[in-house]
Copies of this chain bind each other. A is one copy, B any other.
Amino acid sequence: MPVIIPADSVGLVSPQTLHIDTPITLDCGRTLASYDLVYETYGKLNTDKSNAVLICHALSGDHHAAGYHDMDDKKPGWWDTAIGPGKAIDTNYFFVVSLNNLGGCKGSTGPTSINPETGKIYGPDFPIVTVSDWVESQSVLADHLAIQQWAAVVGGSLGGMQAMQWAISQPERLRHALIIAAAPKLSAQNIAFNEVARTAIKSDPDFHDGHYTAHNTLPRHGLGLARMLGHITYLSDVAMGEKFGRALRNDTINYGYDVDFQIESYLRYQSENFVDRFDANTYLLMTKALDYFDPAKEFNDDLTATMAQIKAKCLVVSFSTDWRFSPERSNEIVNAMLNAGTDVTYAEIEAHQGHDAFLMSIGRYIDIFQTYMQKIAAEDGDS
């Protein structure tokens, strides 16, 4: 049965592809002679091109942030709670740009793309891409769209890190950065979880050192394990407890090694669902981009000096039960910004949903988000 598209949806949308022939040299030292970026836009760019908002996606996200690709879609884009007419990022006012990042697996050039130099897919030979590289490639997309300055760059989690990096390394090209559920760099524990995920993928015999496509296989078990583990870190203990508790899948325990508890079924389902829609080499790449993110490194590990680069105004948001990037990590960002004299607004949202809260329709969060975006629109109207 086709969906009935809600009135506050951006409606049916189609991705576009920008082919870029200007070479990009990445942080790792390698150069891509050409590359594609797939993106979607919602709303209309105004005549003075002052209403553009860039959405940056997280680890497993893509360009499809809002609306529907066709009438048979069961679900809208991944941030449809926040983007649409009358929503926090109001497409009646803003022109929203959402892309699949370089190194992704949903259409932008990445490990699943053909390497024009060899005629074969890149696979594991695709270079590691950093958050800075993404900002660089996103600025090429901005140039193409003739957007000299974003009204705002917005993202959650790894997306929030991109918004932060934009504000630090391209200070003239954005007026606002919205940094949601992020951290100034990963902790040892964050890196440890990523390393377990990578080890799971790499030790799957179907991984073949990343050349699984050539072997007509997929590292399903390894990628599935990585996703299961990811899910645990995205949810809070409280949220998992409320959703599943110790509920059994059947009435009794099995006294065996099959699924006993509903939480186990849920994780299995999530992982099986994921391996069919995501590329393992891209997953590895994304986790390394996370691990490597550390903008203060260029500034002698001085986070205040780093934030002193920023000219944009910032909104930083964290969630009380997020233990992946906890409120303490947002405090580090905010304290450095305050020391650096950045114009920053901070909100810690009480929410039991853990890290995933940034994707959800949580009253106070959406209120603050919307109010902040309305302020941007009003500033723009004044100028």
Q: Which of A267-293 contact B (CB under 8 A)?
A: 267-268, 284, 288, 291-292
Least CB distance, A164 to chain B, in whole angstroms: 17
Q: A205 an interface residue at 8 Å Cβ cutoff?
A: yes
Tell whether, in the assembled complex, residue B185 and residue A199 are in contact, meaning their CB atoms are under 8 Å apart.
no
What chain B residues lie within 8 Å of A187 (beta carbons)? 237, 240-241, 246
Tell whether, in the assembled complex, residue B196 and residue A228 are in contact, meaning their CB atoms are under 8 Å apart.
yes
What chain B residues lie within 8 Å of A221 (beta carbons)? 199, 203
Which one of A124, A185, A192 has the greatest number of beta carbons of chain B within 10 Å?
Answer: A192
> Chain A contact residues: over half helix, strand or loop, or mixed?
helix
What chain B residues lie within 8 Å of A253 (beta carbons)? 292
What chain B residues lie within 8 Å of A294 (beta carbons)? 246
Q: Which of A227-286 contact B (CB under 8 A)?
A: 228-229, 231-232, 235, 237, 240-241, 243-246, 253, 255-257, 260-261, 263-264, 267-268, 284
What chain B residues lie within 8 Å of A24 (beta carbons)? none
Contact of A257 among B198, B205, B246 (CB under 8 A): B198
What chain B residues lie within 8 Å of A198 (beta carbons)? 257
Q: A189 an interface residue at 8 Å Cβ cutoff?
A: yes
- A203-215 vs B, CB cutoff 8 Å, 1 = contact: the mask equals 1110000000000
Q: Copy number in this complex?
A: 2
- Assembly CA distance A244 to B203 (angstroms): 24
Q: A73 an interface residue at 8 Å Cβ cutoff?
A: no
Q: A191 an interface residue at 8 Å Cβ cutoff?
A: yes
Give how many A residues have a beta carbon under 8 Å from the other chain's beta carbons: 54
- Asked if A225 meets B225 with Cβ closer than 8 Å, knowing A241-B187, A263-B192, the reply is yes
Q: A105 an interface residue at 8 Å Cβ cutoff?
A: no
What chain B residues lie within 8 Å of A1 (beta carbons)? none
Tell whether, in the assembled complex, residue B240 and residue A188 are in contact, meaning their CB atoms are under 8 Å apart.
yes
- Asked if A267 meets B192 with Cβ closer than 8 Å, knowing A128-B256, A199-B225, A292-B253, the reply is yes
Closest to A221 in B: B203
- Asked if A205 meets B203 with Cβ closer than 8 Å, knowing A189-B237, A267-B195, the reply is no
Contact of A225 among B29, B200, B232, B240 (CB under 8 A): B200
Q: A27 an interface residue at 8 Å Cβ cutoff?
A: yes
- Assembly CA distance A191 to B267 (angstroms): 11
Least CB distance, A344 to chain B, in whole angstroms: 24
- Assembly CA distance A188 to B243 (angstroms): 9
Tell whether, in the assembled complex, residue B189 and residue A232 are in contact, meaning their CB atoms are under 8 Å apart.
yes
Least CB distance, A351 to chain B, in whole angstroms: 17
Least CB distance, A54 to chain B, in whole angstroms: 25
Tell whether, in the assembled complex, residue A261 and residue B225 are in contact, meaning their CB atoms are under 8 Å apart.
no
Tell whether, in the assembled complex, residue A192 and residue B232 are in contact, meaning their CB atoms are under 8 Å apart.
yes
- Assembly CA distance A284 to B268 (angstroms): 17
Q: A171 an interface residue at 8 Å Cβ cutoff?
A: no
Closest to A236 in B: B189
6 closest A-B pairs by beta carbon, nearest first, are A28-B255, A203-B221, A188-B240, A189-B237, A188-B244, A188-B263
- Beyond the given pairs A189-B240, A199-B225, A323-B323, 18 more chain A to chain B contacts, judged by CB atoms under 8 angstroms and listed by A's residue number, are A29-B255, A188-B261, A189-B232, A189-B235, A189-B241, A191-B261, A195-B264, A196-B225, A196-B267, A199-B221, A199-B268, A200-B225, A202-B257, A203-B204, A203-B225, A205-B205, A229-B229, A253-B292
